A and B are shown apart, each in its own frame.
Chain A
Amino acid sequence: MKLVKCLRHALTMVLHSRLRSWLTIIGIVIGVASVIAIVSLGAGMEAAVNSQISGLGADLVTVSPGYSRAMRFGPGGDFDGGSSASDATLGRQDLQVVRGLPEVKAIGTQIRGSVEVYYLGEKATISLTGVDQSTWKDITTDGIGEGRMLGPADSNVVVIGERLATEHFDKPIGINQLLTIEGRSFRVVGILEEGTGSTIHMPISQAYQVLEDSVRGEYDSIIIKVKDGVDVQAFVDKLEKRLMLSRHVTSKDQDFSVSSNIQFASRMSDMTSTMTMFLAGIAAISLLVGAVGIANTMFTSVLEKTKEIGIMKAIGARNRDIMLIFLFNAGSIGLVGGFLGIGLGWIISKGLGAAMEMSTIVSGGIVAIALLVSVGVGIIAGIVPAYQASQLSPVDALRYE
């Protein structure tokens, strides 16, 4: 018998034992749906983590004074915690070291502090960052919302975070409004995009004047953007070694830290994917239960169809034909279960995503895998019953009532 015909017979069989077929299909649907839902949630989570991380700038490396051992989980597993040398600072010499490295694309020095700000008669204490205005737009991960970023020739101007502009004072702060910062007047030329905090950014030279305890030539952080294609982790290690040399410290009394988001990024995505795999594994067990259901249904079906198998053999069906019909029957139960499971899984994942306020990703790859697996599961579950059916002797099968 031709394959298409075997397939058609199998489908007729599925359609003619609707209730039993549907009950079996439900088993597969549940298995596939839970795998799809979990994997798509996991994929969504991973994508969210990754985009957050790339928003943080995976090509940025930050040097800051002080060293927190708790941040590191070295090969020795030493974990003495706490930070050391809190009075350490970063200075021109460190900047020189950074400048000497060929991987560097842009460098921005920053200082931070808090300042008193008057706006339309209201007073508040706000945090302030002095930035290197010529490179700031390259090393910041915040985009501009309104107005513009700081330019190289700017003075007496600031760019503020979106929350400061909209929420901090009774009246929102707009472009070109004046803020009085520590008694000096600054014009707002830009407001950062939504979701940025309430920090004021001003040229670092003026920040030295405004911030009382700041010392010219000392920085709170040096931010480095590396060139495209640079291995960030290797760069971090190299920079750390160079700075240790120039600052005359060893790993025992290290008083600065070099960090990038790449470690955090890979740890986070490792964690989410491990969790996804684990949960998908649990979900796959229900798929296994579905497979047992198919096998069970097929055994019952073979028993029920024994007489028909005898008839088919009497009118010329070969063992192979019978085998294929039953395999296709099992496979199509798997296929239908797979399709419905993908649909249900998609709905569940969108529903969960909406409830958890995150996007989920049902990728073409996982859909294809789910279909292949469910058909495969059906066929594997059908092998033994189908073989049993094909081996029935025609006379015995015909005599079966």
Chain B
Amino acid sequence: MGEVEVPALKGVDLTIRRGDFVAIIGASGSGKSTLMNLIGCLDIPSKGTILLHGKDIAKLSESDLASLRGRTIGFIFQQYNLIPTMSAFANVRLPLELQEMGDRESKARADKTLTLVGLADYAHHLPSQLSGGQQQRVSIARSLVTEPEIVLADEPTGALDSVTGREVIELMQRLWKEQGKTVILVTHDLNLAQYAHTHIELKDGRILSIMENTHMRMFKERSKE
């Protein structure tokens, strides 16, 4: 028996502007993760093309694609996906090591990024010694340490309680505002989607709507003393 091909996405034509904060919303199974994986160059579409910086990613070699992922894109996953045998610091530093960055610079950057997400004191903890929210912040630090242009977060709050989830989204919004990154957030929580600038709604693998969120909610500026 042959395998039946079931397209996860159909007729998706989407342009995401640099510096946008996009929320992809839709029911479970609507193709959100598939779309994210394609944008993140983890997957190659069976039909159609993905252009990043005007280049077709399907035409890149495996190792070019890997470095493109490593340098341009930061991933945040629902299940944090930290390497369990490595400390928070080592997890954050790993993408830099993969890029063959020098030891001193990679250490400085990892330290700085851990401080940015408020985990400087937990650098040498293993993931299992951290709470869910802390683990997700480590994974955010890992996605930011390479200073990527695009941050992709696939249901980053899915495994967190609503308060911690809100904190994570707040952190992401702050990074978007302060660092001008392109942030793409997948969520099925419409409340959290309110913090994004653009909404893309998926249904059964098709784009239902793309609209600007006119009621974008902003977290309060933190007073810096």
Contact = CB atoms under 8 A, between A and B. Distances in A.
By size class, the interface of chain A is 20 to 34
Contacts of B99: 316
Contact of B40 (A1, A308, A314): A314
Contacts of A398: 42, 77, 81
B37 A395 contact: yes
A395 B36 CA distance: 11
B225 interface: no
Interface stretch (A240-248, A266-274, A318-326): A318-326
B81 A316 contact: no
Given A12-B85, A307-B81, A395-B37, A317 B43 contact: no
A196 B82 CA distance: 76
Interface stretch (B68-76, B188-196, B202-210): B68-76
Q: Is the interface of A mostly helix, strand, loop or mixed?
A: helix
Given A311-B81, A318-B66, A395 B43 contact: yes
Contact of A12 (B71, B86, B97): B86
Contacts of B40: 314
A2 B97 CA distance: 7
A168 interface: no
Given A307-B81, A308-B83, A395-B37, A314 B69 contact: yes
Interface string A1-36: 110010000001100100000000000000000000
Interface string A289-322: 0000000000000000001101111111111110
Given A13-B85, A311-B83, A317 B42 contact: no
B100 A316 contact: no
Contacts of B71: 316
B95 interface: yes
Contact of A318 (B43, B67, B142): B67
B95 A316 contact: yes
A1 B70 CA distance: 11
Given A1-B98, A2-B97, A313 B85 contact: no
A318 B98 CA distance: 8
Nearest to B74: A315
A331 interface: no
A316 B85 contact: no
A313 B69 CA distance: 8
Interface string A372-401: 000000000000000000000111001000
B112 to A, nearest CB: 18
Contacts of B143: 315
Contacts of B86: 12
A312 B98 contact: yes
A386 to B, nearest CB: 15
Interface of A: 1-2, 5, 12-13, 16, 307-308, 310-321, 393-395, 398
Given A307-B81, A394-B43, A395-B37, A315 B63 contact: no
Contact of B85 (A16, A314, A318, A395): A16
Given A2-B100, A12-B85, A316 B66 contact: yes
17 contacts: A12-B85, A311-B81, A313-B66, A313-B69, A315-B95, A315-B143, A315-B146, A316-B69, A316-B99, A317-B98, A318-B62, A318-B63, A319-B63, A320-B63, A394-B43, A395-B37, A395-B42
Interface in B83-140: 83, 85-86, 94-95, 97-100
A5 B37 CA distance: 27
A2 B98 CA distance: 7
A312 B91 CA distance: 10
A312 B94 contact: yes
A319 B94 CA distance: 16
Nearest to A15: B85
Contacts of A393: 43
Nearest to A307: B81
A16 B128 CA distance: 14
B67 A394 contact: no
B43 A315 contact: no
A316 B67 contact: yes
A229 to B, nearest CB: 60
Contacts of A2: 97, 100
Contacts of A13: 85
Contacts of B85: 12-13, 16
Nearest to A6: B97
B43 A5 contact: no
Contacts of A313: 42, 66, 69
Nearest to B38: A395
A312 B97 CA distance: 11
A47 B1 CA distance: 68
